[in-house]
Amino acid sequence: MIGAFRRSIQFRYVTITVALSAVALVAVGGFLSFSIGNGLFQTRVEQILQESKRDSVEVQNTFSSSGATDAVSLQVLVNAVVPNLEQNAASGSRRVALLRTLNQATDQFLQSPISTTLSDADIPASLRDKVAKTDNRIIYRTETLFINGVQTPSVVVGSKINIPVAGQYELYLVYDISDVQATLDFMQSTLAVGGLIMILLLGIVAYFVTGRIVAPVARAAEVAEELALGSLDKRLPERGQDIVATLARSFNRMAQSLETQIGELSKLSKMQQRFVSDVSHELRTPLTTIKLAAEMLEARSDELDEKAKRSLDTLISQVARFESLLSDLLEMSRYDAGAVVAELESNDLKTVVKLAVAGLEPLAETLGCELRVKLPKGEVIAELDRRRIERVLRNLISNAIEHGAGKPIVIEVGQSKSAVAVTITDFGVGMSRSQMDRVFDRFWRADPARKRTTGGTGLGLAISLEDTHLHNGWLQVTSKPSQGTTFRITLPRKKDGIFTESPLPLGETLSQRRIV
């Protein structure tokens, strides 16, 4: 409920509308029922008082003018009063009591008549007291009395009557005003039902009105969300001239310019990648010609003098470097174009490491450094693109050989339940912190002036990083100047597998200097 209140604007506004209109209706209804009730009551009381006054005067006159002095004739007159008044009521039913004022010096010799459904006790003592002490005026009071056990709102009107010889009496007229109460009740219930219907209708109206306003906003939110998720061609319907249409139009303009700009950018980026790819391809054919020509010359190198021979060697080695640069560039442009797909198969990482090491043994031997390989027992199976991982390892090992200052290189393979890893550690020149930060940058070289023996292209580590990311793996480095460098590649066992820790520590071999 509270959740819906927070989430839905429509729900919120409908609830607020209903709550506020309910408060307003209760206030208005309360006021109406109070003032109407009051008005009804006052009118009725005035009517009752007029009637009572008239009747009271009439009763007094009857006694005053009768001239009767004996008890019997007075009793006859007294007895006639009650039924007369009961029948003479102008408005509704009334009950009558003619009671002798209490505590009089003279003796009571007349019986006090009273309506059958009324008793002395129904007339409040305080009222009797007040009536007894007041001259020439009628006194009234509203009371709830019981008639045959039923609660009845009543008005009791009292007045003094002097009966000659017999003394002072009090005439009470008791009016039943339950009809007024009934009218009031009916009006109140009508008001309540009407109010409820009104609130319901207001709720429905609020629902539709907010719906009309909220729907375009909700649609805009939906489209904005889709846009954010990459569906750049989504638009809002533009209808009419109102503020919602203005919102839709400016939203669409924004989306349009976004789409145009992103399209422009991706076109540019595609053109650039395409250009790099085309250049690499276009260079291949002349490179092939140069390479074949150099090869032909090489076959006849004994016919050349020393200097010409050296030139030929330069030509051949630089053509080879050019070629590897070209293929690295092409590989990089494939990654940039997102055109690389891993061919994953279950492979034993140990086999891949052995292949990479075997390929680099000759280079290591030439530079007089030893490759020490530490393999765990058993197979190290993971889903790999063998060609790419072998390339990464070859690249890392040849870097280690190149920067290892002729000291042994340690290659270690490890595995855990979720991941496999290889570390390659050299104890050579190492790198500073700032060099380490740039080591995966394209065309970055630790020492541009240093002689290159392996003919690296400057793209090797950038490609290795892409190859690793293609496997959802990590490629990390730690290094200390003049102590050495460790690279660690960690790969999940399955492509979508999750690992949080590499099976091998990074930098332990280096800090313990276990080899040296």
Partner 1 sequence: MVHKVLVVEDEELLNRQLCDMLENAGYEAVGSLDGVNAMLAFKNFNPDLVLLDIQLPPTSGIEVCKEIRAISGVPVIMLTAKTDDEDVVAGLEAGADDYIFKPMPSFKVLQARIEARLRPLRAPEANELVIGPLVIDVLGHEVRRDGVRVPLTPLEFNLLQTLAESPKQVFTREDLLKKVWGYHYDADTRLVNVHVQRLRSKIEDDPDNPKIVVTERGVGYKAGQF
- Cβ 336 to partner 1 shortest distance, Å: 15
Output the smallest distance, CB 503 to partner 1, in A. 29
Q: How far is the CB of 339 from partner 1 (least distance, A)?
A: 8
Residues within window 413-442 making contact with partner 1, judged by CB under 8 A = none
Enumerate long-range contacts of 59-67, CB under 8 Å, 24 or more apart. Answer: 59/85, 59/98, 59/161, 59/171, 60/161, 60/162, 63/161, 63/162, 63/163, 63/164, 64/162, 64/164, 66/164
Burial of 314 (0-12, 13-18, 19+ CB in 10 A): exposed
Q: C-beta of 359: minimal distance to partner 1 in Å?
A: 12
Which of 249/270 has CB closer to partner 1?
A: 270
296 binds partner 1 (CB under 8 A): yes
DSSP helix/strand/coil, 368? coil
* Candidate segments 113-121, 193-201, 290-298, 495-503, binder of partner 1 by CB under 8 A: 290-298
Q: How far is the CB of 280 from partner 1 (least distance, A)?
A: 9
Tokens of 455: 């003919």
Distance CA 487, CA 412 (A): 11
What's the CA gap between 330 and 273, in Å, rounded? 9
Measured distance CA(483)–CA(405) in Å, rounded: 10
Binding string, residues 298-327; x marks residues near partner 1 by CB under 8 A? -x-----------------------x----
Distance of closest approach, residue 516 Cβ to partner 1, in angstroms: 37
Q: For residue 114, list its beta bridge partners.
A: 97
Taking the complex as a whole, how short is the minimal distance between the CB of residue 292 and partner 1, in angstroms?
5
Binds partner 1 (CB under 8 A): choice among 129, 222, 295, 441: 295
**Contact (Cβ atoms closer than 8 angstroms) between residue 294 and residue 354:** no
Considering only 47-55, 218-226, 295-303, 486-494, which stretch makes contact with partner 1 by CB under 8 A? Answer: 295-303
Stretch that binds partner 1, among 234-242, 287-295, 439-447, 472-480 (CB under 8 A): 287-295
245 vs 355, beta carbon nearer partner 1: 355
Give the residue with the Cβ less far from partner 1, 282 or 365: 282
Q: Which is nearer to partner 1, 304 or 515 (CB)?
A: 304
Residue 132 CA to residue 105 CA, distance in Å, equals 14
Footprint of partner 1 on 225-284 (CB under 8 A):
281-282, 284
Binding range to partner 1, per CB under 8 A, among 21-29, 293-301, 350-358, 482-490: 293-301
Q: Which of 253, 267, 387, 442 binds partner 1 (CB under 8 A)?
A: 387
CA distance 478 to 484: 9
- How far apart CA 451 and CA 449 sit, in angstroms, is 7
Binding positions for partner 1, 84-103, rule CB under 8 A: none
According to CB under 8 A, which residues from 325 to 354 bind partner 1?
A: 330
Q: CB-based burial of residue 373 (10 Å sphere; 0-12 exposed, 13-18 middle, 19+ buried)? A: middle
Size of the site for partner 1 (CB under 8 A): 17
Given the complex with partner 1, which of 322 and 440 has the nearer CB atom? 322
At its nearest, how many Å lie between partner 1 and the CB of residue 466?
A: 17
In sequence order, the 6+-apart residues with CB closer than 8 A to the CB of 95 are: 86, 115, 117, 118, 173, 174, 176
- We find the least distance from the C-beta atom of residue 271 to partner 1, in angstroms, to be 18
Q: What letter does residue 493 receive in the DSSP assignment? A: S
Q: Please say which residue, 390 or 412, places its beta carbon nearer to partner 1.
A: 390
> 349 forms bridges with which residues in the sheet?
none
User: What are the distances in angstroms from CA 15 to CA 196, 200, 209, 451?
Assistant: 15, 11, 13, 79
CB of 216 to partner 1, least distance (A): 47
CA distance 458 to 441: 8
Distance (Å, whole) CA 346 – CA 317: 37
Interactions with partner 1, residue window 108-137 (CB under 8 A)? none
Q: What minimum distance in Å lies between the beta carbon of 221 and partner 1?
A: 42
Q: Which is nearer to partner 1, 225 or 282 (CB)?
A: 282
Residue of 147, 287, 315, 344 interacting with partner 1 (CB under 8 A) = 287
Taking CB under 8 A as the binding criterion, the range among 33-41, 164-172, 285-293, 377-385 that sits at the site for partner 1 is 285-293
Q: Which of 76, 193, 293, 358 binds partner 1 (CB under 8 A)?
A: 293
Give the residue among 322, 315, 340, 321 at the shortest CA–CA distance from 280.
322
The H or E element spanning position 156 is strand 150-163
> Looking at beta carbons only, is 209 or 340 nearer to partner 1?
340
Residue 363 CB, shortest distance to partner 1, in Å, is: 18
C-beta neighbour count of 135 within 10 angstroms? 5
Taking CB under 8 A as the criterion, the residue among 35, 50, 289, 366 binding partner 1 is 289
Burial of 145 (0-12, 13-18, 19+ CB in 10 A): buried
Q: How far is the CB of 295 from partner 1 (least distance, A)?
A: 5
In the 3-class helix/strand/coil scheme, how is 421-488 assigned residue by residue? EEEEEECCCCCCHHHHHHCCCCCCCCCCCCCCCCCCCCCHHHHHHHHHHHCCCEEEEEEECCCEEEEE
d(CA 48, CA 140): 10
For partner 1, the closer of residues 221 and 320 by Cβ is 320
DSSP structure class, residue 114: B
Q: Given the rule CB under 8 A, which residues bind partner 1?
A: 281-282, 284-289, 291-293, 295-296, 299, 323, 330, 387
